[in-house]
Structure 1
Amino acid sequence: MFSQFALHERLLKALAELNFVEPTPVQAAAIPPALEGYDLRVIARTGSGKTAAFVLPLLNGLIGDARPRVSIRALILLPTRELAQQTLKEVERFSQFTFIKSGLVTGGENFKVQAALLRKVPDILIGTPGRLLEHLNAGHLDLRDVEVLVLDEADRMLDMGFAEDVQRLVESCANRRQTLLFSATTGGSGLREIVAKVLREPRHLMLNAVGELSETTRQQIVTADDPAHKERLVHWLLENETYRKAIVFTNTRAQADRLYGHLVAVGHKAFVLHGEKDQKDRKLAIERLRQGGARVLVATDVAARGLDVDGLDLVINFDMPRSGDEYVHRVGRTGRAGAEGLAVSLICHNDWNLMSSVERYLKQRFERRVIKELKGSYQGPKSLKASGKAAGTKKKKTDDGKGGKKPAAKAAPRRKPAGPALVSQDGLAPLKRRTPAPE
């Protein structure tokens, strides 16, 4: 029960109004030490309730009687506009019975309008690093009085190249009393460096191991011959799977646009979302998906973080993501808050090694699936069982039929190797070198 936490009565009233009763595991673990003022580093899967886990303690520390706002008291940094917008909505919901005001600053919006918002000095400022740094450099932003700094999806911010921007903003919040860092993955050396620099004697909370991510989601692979074959598989899945809403992920904007055009041409209600779309189009795509005007969103990884849509229960990886962390965040769009989900990755010969590396990263083996109507010729690299004795070659008899043994055959003369050995794409099975036919 949220009532067990030392939260202000106005926050408990908002939670009751929103029908929040039982805290999720990440909320139960993070809220008490955050209320006590500890710096936290929290790793928890997407859809686990991380936003409330930092917003409620933050609000609790800022709550009080109405007073003139003279400084920004809390800063929340996020990697994408969509996640920042979603976080603003959550802050406003939880603070509805308080005098706390929030503001949003992200790229893609009018710079002068944002400067006017900053002159009103919101208590909580939510934004993306690049645009916040622009306002800082322009003299519109003063972070000296920030009390609480939150880095949400910190690993993603570093992946997107925001390390220097984040460091500059952190340094501008030099007088803060608390820093909360949340992520869905452990990240790499860059994240460890940020943790060492910005957190002071932190509490480390790891709510799930990497292999436990998306445990309510079935994860499958379907092999394909080429991109055109993948397009037919996407169409078949969208026509035959039972789902309410779906996202199809590609690695490039060009492929996203091509696939979107293909789906619209065959009658699917779809939208496309990628970095070249302006803010108006991005908002429209997400709102249509949320409201049911479209059932399918084709997107690059710009949508892999911060997109929380009710009823999103199918994710298709048209292209295999380039890292295990990206796979986790894509698949995390479905199977949220304990709901059932399905993730299908389409695998060509050039995707197999990526897929295998993701399996090793997650310490899982994805379910192999065959769609009979569209079964292609590529079924994955040859395994060890496909050659030699392991392929089921029967052992030759060694007796002569009369109880005696046949003399051992003379060993064939060794041939000089024709060149370096060839191995299959999974690095395991040796491949036979073909001898050219005589001309």
Structure 2
Amino acid sequence: MSEDSWALSVDQQEAKAPALKHLNTKQKKTNSNVVPGDGEPGDEPGPADQSLLHKMIRRSLVRNRNEVEVLQRDPNSPLYSVKSFEDLRLKPELLNGVYSMGFNRPSRIQENALPMMLAQPPLNLIAQAQSGTGKTAAFSLAMLSHVDPANKWPQCLCISPTYELALQIGQVIEQMGKFCPDVELAYAIRGNRMERGTKLQQQIVIGTPGTVLDWCMKYKFIDPKKITMFVLDEADVMIATQGHRDQSFRIHRQLTKDCQMLLFSATFEESVWGFAKKVIPDPNIIRLKREEETLDTIKQYYVVCKEEEDKFTALCNLYGGITIAQAIIFCRTRKTAAWLTVNLMKEGHQVALLSGELAVEQRAAVIERYRNGKEKVLVTTNVCSRGIDVEQVSLVVNFDLPEDIDGNADNETYLHRIGRTGRFGKRGYAVSMVDSEHGMDILHQIETHFNRRIPKLDPSDPAEMEKEFNS
């Protein structure tokens, strides 16, 4: 039975207890999508695992300065972005909570989203934000600011696609609200059992769609008509999960028209847009600027090789011919990634290996070591292609070019891969290995898609490399 299709039979409860203000997070376990086989396409973890991974490794809100663009429904609105948390005129206990968590200034998404979320009268919002950019802290702060502690019923409701992600949100709220003793939090998640006839008194409820729906409609633990702020997190993950889309709609239909609606998604594909527009009426919109715009800071090249061993030789020449702070090397299969890691270590390189059979916690530990400079080279499959910022990465190598299931260029993955360099306005380099006519065709498809010519590089010619990389 899926975690969110779990339904509590009140008559069969083994233990009856009120909703928890605090959950023992030591008992929390993280599921990982272990992909069988040799790491063929599909080695990338599921969207929920990927989001959880980002939450675990991207803790600093100051590091992530993603550019955003704001599309306000009212162009004459006086709302403005904030540069400090003091500008928001928060309650002192909330400001203390923010600073106690080590947040010293708002991230980009917070600068633009928080004034809208805290506005009076309330404004609805659709926002694009990767996990780890500070959006969880933003809507947590909005919920804590929104509630009236004197009212002992749920006022803010947040739904998240998985048990683990819901706990992550709850932890942020509990930390941020630790100086607000009269504000309490309940978890509408699997295993948290309620007694028949109980009415929740906690002002904030975090949960997964199926359990929240049961608590609203089946067991009447929550009165949805009293909810005045509704947050739907990880919308792209939500609609990718069977049943969650319908459950989210059903929860939404129970809310009043005056309820403030906030939706967050890491991506804005058409399916997400369609979902968001049905759930969030008259929204203000914040979205990340297209990552293609960052390509101007990345110099792209390709290298022609005959076989895998030639790729390795070219890689060693490349690494020896230019000054590299840190590098990420993308492989198509786990087998290739493991082989490459062993051979690079034989050459004396400090190498970390990241692939899909690792649990989420293990992946986070590998990336944290790499971010801290313990290893200079990260060899990975697609588990690392999206949204991971390491400031020192100066080189990305496509040891294998990314392809979709039909054997065509996977342009989106290529963009996410090379986007791991050239971060924070610094110059970066991306080199792709081409070992066949098919590989050359993939490269041409990428050139056509992005309307950019990718020049050929000869890594065996140190003079040419020095000229290219220093131009």
TM-score, with normalisation over the residues of structure 2? 0.57
Query: Alignment partner of 1:195: what SS?
Result: helix
| 1:77–1:309 CA distance, 2 compared to 1 (3 A) | farther
Q: Is the 8 A contact 2:186 2:205 kept in 1?
A: yes
Partner of 1:162: 240
Alignment of 1:3-402 (within 5 A): 3-13=86-96, 18=102, 20-21=104-105, 24=108, 26-36=109-119, 37-43=122-128, 54-61=139-146, 73-77=157-161, 97-98=179-180, 125=206, 147-152=229-234, 154-155=235-236, 157=237, 162-171=240-249, 173-174=251-252, 175=254, 177-183=259-265, 185-187=267-269, 189-212=270-293, 214-215=294-295, 217-225=297-305, 226-309=307-390, 311-321=392-402, 322=404, 323-348=410-435, 349-361=437-449, 363-365=450-452, 367-373=454-460
Q: Shift of residue 370 of structure 1?
A: 1.3
**Displacement of 1:285 after TM fit?**
1.8
Distance 1:272 1:103 in 2: 39
Deviation at 1:235, TM superposition (A): 3.4
SS in structure 2 at match of 1:371: coil
Q: Secondary structure at the match of 1:350?
A: helix
**Alignment partners' CA distance in 2, 1:143 and 1:15:** 28
Distance 1:183 1:59 in 2: 21
* Aligned residues of 1:104 and 1:125 also touching (Cα < 8 A): yes
Report the CA distance between 1:60 and its aligned residue: 3.3
Task: Give the Cα separation in 1 of the matches to 2:133 and 2:223.
Answer: 32
Kept after mapping to 2: 8 A contact 1:72/1:143: no
Q: Is the 8 A contact 2:314 2:460 kept in 1?
A: no
Identity percentage over the alignment? 27
**How far off is 1:325 after superposition?**
2.8
Q: Give the Cα separation in 2 of the matches to 1:255 and 1:280.
A: 23
The Cα offsets for residues 226-279 of structure 1, whole Å up to 9 and x where unpaired, read as 433333333344444434433222233333333223323333222222222234
Distance 1:48 1:263 in 2: 33
The 1-side partners of 2:331 and 2:319 are apart by 16
The 8 Å contact of residues 88 and 115 in structure 2, kept in 1 or not, is answered as yes
Aligned-partner Cα distance in 1 for 2:318–2:169? 32
What is the Cα deviation at residue 208 of structure 1? Answer: 1.8
Deviations 1:381-438 (A, max 9, x none): xxxxxxxxxxxxxxxxxxxxxxxxxxxxxxxxxxxxxxxxxxxxxxxxxxxxxxxxxx
1:259/1:117 CA distance change after superposition, 3 Å: farther
Counterpart CA distance in 2 for 1:319 and 1:239 is 20
The verdict on how the C-alpha distance between 1:69 and 1:46 changes in structure 2, with shifts beyond 3 A counting, is closer
- Is the contact made by 2:156 and 2:230 (CA closer than 8 Å) also made in structure 1? no
Structure 1 length-normalised TM: 0.60
Is the contact between residue 158 and residue 233 of structure 2 (CA under 8 Å) also seen in structure 1?
A: no
Distance 1:94 1:65 in 2: 15
- Contact 1:314/1:334 (8 A) holds in 2: yes
Q: CA offsets per residue over residues 67-108 of structure 1, 9 Å max, x none?
A: 999898323448x98x99987887677556555788999xxx
Q: Relative to 1, partners in 2 of residues 1:223 and 1:73: Cα closer, same or farther, differing over 3 Å?
A: same
Q: In the alignment, residue 373 of structure 1 is paired with which amino acid?
A: S
What secondary structure does 2:367 align onto? helix
Q: Secondary structure at the match of 1:342?
A: strand
Q: Secondary structure at the match of 1:281?
A: helix
Question: Shift of the alpha carbon at 1:51?
Answer: 5.4
Is the 8 Å Cα contact of residues 190 and 211 (structure 2) preserved in structure 1? Answer: no
| Cα deviation, residue 373, structure 1 | 1.0
Cα distance, 1:14–1:72 mapped onto 2, change above 3 Å: closer
Mapped partners of 1:179, 1:306: distance in 2 = 26
Aligned 8 A contact 1:331 1:343 in 2 = yes
Alignment partner of 2:314: what SS?
helix
Quick one: structure 1 residues 258 and 14, their matched pair in 2 at CA, closer, same or farther if it must change by over 3 Å? same
Residue 218 of structure 1 aligns with an amino acid whose one-letter code is I
Unaligned runs of 5+ in 2: 1-82, 195-199, 405-409, 463-471
| Matched letter for residue 242 of structure 2 | E
RMSD of Structure 2 on Structure 1 (CA): 4.8
Count residues in correspondence: 351
Tell me how far 1:43 sits from its aligned partner: 4.2
CA offset at residue 167 of structure 1?
1.0
- Unpaired runs of 5+ in structure 1? 106-113, 376-439
Q: Distance in 1 between matches of 2:174 and 2:318?
A: 38
**Larger RCO (CA within 8 A; separation ≥ 6):** 2
Greater Rg, structure 1 or structure 2? 1
